[in-house]
Amino acid sequence: MLSNYGKIAVDSLWHNNPILVQLLGLCPLLAVSSTFINSLGLGIATTLVLIGSNVTVSMIRHKVKQELRIPIFVMVIASFVTIVELAMNAYLHELYKILGIFIPLIVTNCVIIARAEAFASKNDMKSSFIDGLTMGLGFTFILLLLGSMREIIGQGTLFSQAHLMFGEGFREMQVTLISDYSGFLLAILPPGAFIGIGLLIALRNVIEQKRKARLARQPVLPVAEHNQA
């Protein structure tokens, strides 16, 4: 049986994945996911903000009045986004230049306020930390999937421009999967992102349906009955 934290993690990554199930944060997702490295950059930045805001919101949840919580959550989130933005500008300057406007726009990513409101304001700090971390990872995971898909189909490479994130030594990390590939523009342009995310959501639904059908065929276990009671 899964521990409470394990359950939060499974929820964030699969049952309640921020993108595939909650359909939150699609704007930065669609805009930035043109390559693997861009996706990784935005994913990490978003995860950091999510953890920071979840922990802070959970910490102050008893001190904030009901009617004041939304403006205060917004303030907490905006501060964390600014801090992450400054830190990226200082320590990951090249990547910062590429992601540009999408770093400050993390503030508008609904995943963050949604988790603050739906989870962190009702749970203790440790659970909120786990929720922020795993929701961030769930977001990053889908970003990376979409980024890889679009990069491979769009330009036939993977991990291009890795040096922007890890330094000059990683320039060689780029894998050219299809040589002499002239590129498939649709995948790089925004429609490619929409089609890609549509396919990913469909794939998740197919897997989920099969899983449910399999569960339905199995006889109900005594343990489950006990739990229900």
Partner 1 sequence: MDIKLLKQNMLAAGKALAIFAVVASALVALTYQITKNQIAANERESLLKSLHVLVDKDQHDNDMYVDNITLSVPKLNYRDNPITIYRARQNGKPVAAIFNVTSPKGYSGPIKLLIAIDNNDTVIGVRVISHKETPGLGDAIDIEKSDWIRVFEGRSLSNPTEKGWRVKKDGGEFDQITSATITPRAIVKTTLQTLQYYTAHKQQVFAKSQGEKDAQ
> Site residues (CB under 8 A) for partner 1?
34, 64-65, 67-68, 71-72, 75-76, 78-79, 82-83, 86-87, 89-91, 93-94, 97, 154, 183, 185, 188-189
Shortest distance (Å) from residue 183 CB to partner 1: 5
Nearer to partner 1, 80 or 141 (CB): 80
* Spatial contact of 190 and 150, defined as CB atoms under 8 Å apart: no
Nearer to partner 1, 21 or 108 (CB): 108
Nearer to partner 1, 72 or 125 (CB): 72
* Spatial contact of 131 and 12, defined as CB atoms under 8 Å apart: yes
Number of residues that make up the chain = 229
SS3 readout for 22-64: CCCCHHHHHHHCCCHHHHHHHHHHHHHHHHHHHHHHHHCCCCC
Nearer to partner 1, 2 or 189 (CB): 189
Shortest distance (Å) from residue 137 CB to partner 1: 24
Shortest distance (Å) from residue 67 CB to partner 1: 7
* Spatial contact of 142 and 19, defined as CB atoms under 8 Å apart: yes
Nearer to partner 1, 102 or 141 (CB): 102
Instruction: Give percent helix, percent strand, percent coil of the chain, each to the nearest 5.
Output: 75, 0, 20
Shortest distance (Å) from residue 68 CB to partner 1: 6
Shortest distance (Å) from residue 223 CB to partner 1: 46
β-pairing, 157-158 vs 175-176, is antiparallel
* Two tokens, residue 57: 């919101």
